[in-house]
A and B are shown apart, each in its own frame.
Chain A
Amino acid sequence: MKLKIAVLVKQVPDHEAMVQVKSEQELEIEDRYVCSFFDEIAVEAALNIEKNHPDAELFALSAGGKRSIDALRRAIAMGIDQVVHLGDESLEASDSNYTAQVLVARLRILQPDLVICGKQAGDDDYAAVGPMVAELLDIPHISGAVSLDTNPDLNMVNVGCEREGEIWYLESGFPLLISAEKGLAEPHVPVVTRVMKAMKANIQNIPLNELELHGNKPQGRIHRIRYVEPPSRPEVIMMQKPFPENISELVNYLQEKGILS
């Protein structure tokens, strides 16, 4: 059986990028974006499968604005040759359900045996799109995979995933969606020839009006109401006396504040 694997990737702000609330309706994000950490693990996991099954066919998909193209270039640099960019800037403000609908519209045509995505995006941390894609495709999904063993000839996938501090080993057949947890694969540093290939690649875009979205709307179910600054950290008050006098000092302080009676 020749495996067809689709990897879902997203471009997100670098973890060191400054993110501030500009207004209730808008965030100000420093212009430093990278392919989401867990999505790179997903790409590497797909490449690892390809090493064992050289005839496997790999795709990477990203739904979003122009920035998504860089996530796809990253996938090319790492080793995936076939990539597709779906949609446009309007997706940047859409909810997870609509993003999943867009991805599924293309996945239905590609009909992959295995879909791999990061367990959550590096920006909103929703961890929603992967399971939604699986539900919409009506295929099983296993989230938080830390190990993966595929046997296409036996139509069998063994997945290890972390649950409550334990690793559960689960078994499924194809098709299947898994979301990648840290430990599933170690993303490699791309060689420069692949970087150059990614730089020069002409990335295929499929506009929203060419996808069968069945009337779904970008803001169909979840609406962003407003952004608010997280509360600033309260002042830290250190007890000045040495141990053990600082214990009674602390108790006295809490009594003065009415926290202890």
Chain B
Amino acid sequence: MDFKFTEEQEFFRASVKDAVDRLIRSRIQEIDEANEFPLDLWKEFAALGYLGLRHPEKYGGLDVDVITSMIFYEELARGSCGFAMSVTMQILMGTYFINRFGTEEIKQRVLIPAIKGDKIGTICFTEDQSGSDLAGTRTTAVKKDNGWVINGRKMWITSGPICNFCTVLATTDPSKGLDGLSFFLVEKGTEGFSPGQSINKLGSRGSVTGELIFDNVWVPDENLLGEGPGNGVKYTTDILNEVRVMTALNACAIANEAMDDARKFALEREAFGKPIAKYQLIRSKFANHWAWYEAARLFAYKAAWMIQEGMDCQYECMLAKMFATEMCISAVDEASRIYGGNSFAMEYPQQRFFRDSRFLLFGGGCHEVLQNALGAAFLRKGSRL
């Protein structure tokens, strides 16, 4: 076994860290307070080329391996959480099906501008009555005139209100439940496709999240992404594994930022004549965090490695996401206790870590749903899955 990153991966991490430090970190508070998509930063960041991280070189991408991409997501989350959400949506979910199933014409029209950052993409799973429960999808796609007519409303769509294109999950046969689902490409300007309300979120501010409306939207057959209708869920697992590990590493980054900030505070803040870092109860918080953080990060990278090796790792990815996010939720809570009353003040970053961490609970599947699936799998097979 080898738990080290390669020298090349360490260099890549340092380079991403440098980019995040110099372009993003100085603007974290501004982005959070403005709660507007920072288009200038988007253009500046896109020019560095990271948006093509997972896509083929022939379309302007870099085609890096899974672990290298995870290093990127982890470092990116040290900056603005909201901006990181927009970027990861573009790299992963927003363009995944277009790269995998899009025709050459679609890739030229959509994928290449997306890699350059000229077009913003997203994916639409969630509706007002369904999120983790994909079988509850009510958006429909009906065959008509060498194409499909899509009707429905999607909610909680990252970059939805500003997107130039989206991959929308719809049912072509509601009676088949999960087996009736398919993905379709819908582009801005298509008749009947429009943004709805934007959501004023607690955290991950700066990413624009909201509703997308599909009112008799006709798209040609080539916009059905995947082999034949009804295979959507089969493909979903492939991308969800990466999304979940990415979320786990976002959680690790936020937790580490919160605790590192609390560490500096504890070394400086004095109570009863000495720095609070000298008190055992404060030290125990750091010790416990260290253990959980190391475990969560190790688990996340193990899951990433399993994806890279092509192993069946659906449950490991779920576990890694759930474990790291719960670790993060606990870490930001403990960090805020170390910080004391100052953690309640908007001028200090602890409140932002607390708010941003809550978003991780839901992206990639809420934990109650994941636990249900994991519990059932454990009962079937035990822990050596």
Contact = CB atoms under 8 A, between A and B. Distances in A.
B47 A195 contact: no
5 contacts: A69-B7, A189-B48, A192-B48, A196-B64, A198-B15
Contact of A189 (B10, B12, B23): B23
Interface string A181-218: 00000000111110110111000000000000000000
A200 B68 CA distance: 13
Contacts of A74: 15
Contacts of B23: 189
Interface string B53-72: 10000000010100000000
Contact of B62 (A34, A73, A77, A196): A196
Nearest to B9: A199
Residue among A34, A196, A198 having the largest count of chain B Cβ atoms under 10 Å: A196
Interface string B1-33: 000000111111011001100110000000000
Contacts of B50: 192
B340 interface: no
Contacts of B19: 189-190
A143 to B, nearest CB: 26
B11 A193 contact: no
B22 A189 contact: yes
A135 to B, nearest CB: 34
Chain B interface residue count: which class? 10 to 19
Contacts of B64: 196
Given A189-B22, A193-B62, A77 B15 contact: yes
A192 B62 contact: yes
Given A199-B8, A199-B11, A200-B8, A189 B62 contact: no
A64 to B, nearest CB: 15
A16 to B, nearest CB: 10
Nearest to A77: B15
Nearest to B51: A192
Contacts of A192: 15, 48-50, 53, 62
A39 interface: no
Contacts of A73: 11
A67 B221 CA distance: 55
A191 B47 contact: yes
A70 B7 CA distance: 9
Interface residues of A, number: 16
Interface of B is mostly: helix
Residue among B10, B12, B23, B62 having the largest count of chain A Cβ atoms under 10 Å: B12
A77 to B, nearest CB: 6
Contact of B12 (A69, A191, A193, A199): A199
A191 B48 contact: yes
Contacts of A77: 15
Contact of A198 (B11, B18, B49, B62): B11
B354 to A, nearest CB: 24
Contacts of A200: 8
Contacts of B14: 34, 70
A185 to B, nearest CB: 15
Nearest to B57: A193
B90 to A, nearest CB: 14
Given A190-B48, A192-B62, 12 more contacts: A70-B14, A74-B15, A191-B49, A192-B15, A192-B48, A193-B62, A195-B15, A196-B12, A196-B64, A198-B15, A199-B9, A200-B8
A77 B22 CA distance: 16
A164 to B, nearest CB: 31
Residue among A73, A198, A200 having the largest count of chain B Cβ atoms under 10 Å: A73
Contacts of B8: 199-200
Interface string A51-81: 0000000000000000001100110010000
A70 B49 contact: no
Contacts of B18: 34, 189-190
Nearest to A31: B10
Given A189-B18, A189-B22, A196-B62, A70 B11 contact: yes
Nearest to A40: B18
Given A77-B15, A200-B8, A193 B49 contact: yes
A195 to B, nearest CB: 4
A190 B19 CA distance: 8
Contacts of B15: 74, 77, 190, 192, 195, 198
A24 B289 CA distance: 34
A239 B79 CA distance: 42
A198 B12 CA distance: 9
A172 to B, nearest CB: 33
Contacts of B11: 70, 73, 195, 198-199
Nearest to A198: B11
B306 to A, nearest CB: 23
